[in-house]
Amino acid sequence: MTQEKLVRRIAVYPGSFDPITNGHLDIIKRGIRIFDEIIILVAYNPSKSSLFTVEERVTMIEETIMDIEGVRVDSYSGLLVDYLKKTGASIILRGMRAVSDFEYEFQMALMNRRQSREVETVFLMSGFKWFYTGSQIIKQVASIGGSVKGLLPAKVHRKLLAKFNNGRK
Ligand code: PNS
């Protein structure tokens, strides 16, 4: 076996995950066929306000990925590249949906690379079923009583509905 094969390929999959969706899960399941280990990182996005706390998001992810070997979850409130340095990882994994994601993703990938030349961002194209869905629109629809069944893992779906039902009481 060559030296290269002995090096574990660890990818960090960062995001808000507010909450984790079936689209995220699809990226994780496909990603682990490429990488030896994936760390799902609940990271801080100052441009978004979140519905779930970091702890709630981590718990939902843990419940969702418990049967997938090689995948674990963590949270971090600092710079993504600092987290990568801390863990010895050099790959950022992101899902890319419609063209509308491209500029945002490109900007982040270039900025992360500017912060650290060691870092590479690898994109997986979103599965076609999840192309036009995401946490934001799912929350919006659920908050006004629309159905989002099938877009989230079942447990996460229940927790999302509970959030909004509690809010209405
Ligand atoms: O799911 P999101 O909200 O699109 O994910 C964005 C996220 C959390 C990956 C991004 O905001 C991030 O990396 N936050 C950590 C802080 C940081 O390093 N920001 C600079 C990114 S170029």
Q: Whose CA is nearest to atom 5 of ligand 1?
A: 15
- Per the residue annotation, which of 16, 57, 94, 97 is the catalytic one? 97
- Backbone torsions φ then ψ of 76, nearest 5 degrees: -160, 140
Give 89-141 pLDDT, tens digit per residue.
Answer: 999 999 999 888 999 999 999 999 999 999 999 999 999 999 989 999 999 99
Residues of 31-45 as b/e, b for ≥16 C-beta within 10 angstroms?
bbeebebbbbbbbbe
Percent of the residues in the chain that have a pLDDT greater than 90, as a whole number: 89
What is the CATH code for 10-132?
Answer: 3.40.50.620
CA distances from 156 to 9, 17, 169 (A): 29, 11, 20
Name 109's Cβ contacts closer than 8 Å, sequence gap at least 6. 92, 94, 121
pLDDT-derived band of residue 7, with 50, 70 and 90 as boundaries?
confident
What residues does each domain of the chain span?
10-132
Ligand 1 within 6 A of CB of 110: no
Quote the pTM value: 0.95
Asked whether the beta carbons of 120 and 89 are under 8 A apart, the reply is: no
Atom of ligand 1 nearest to the CA of 79: 18
Ligand 1 within 6 A of CB of 43: yes
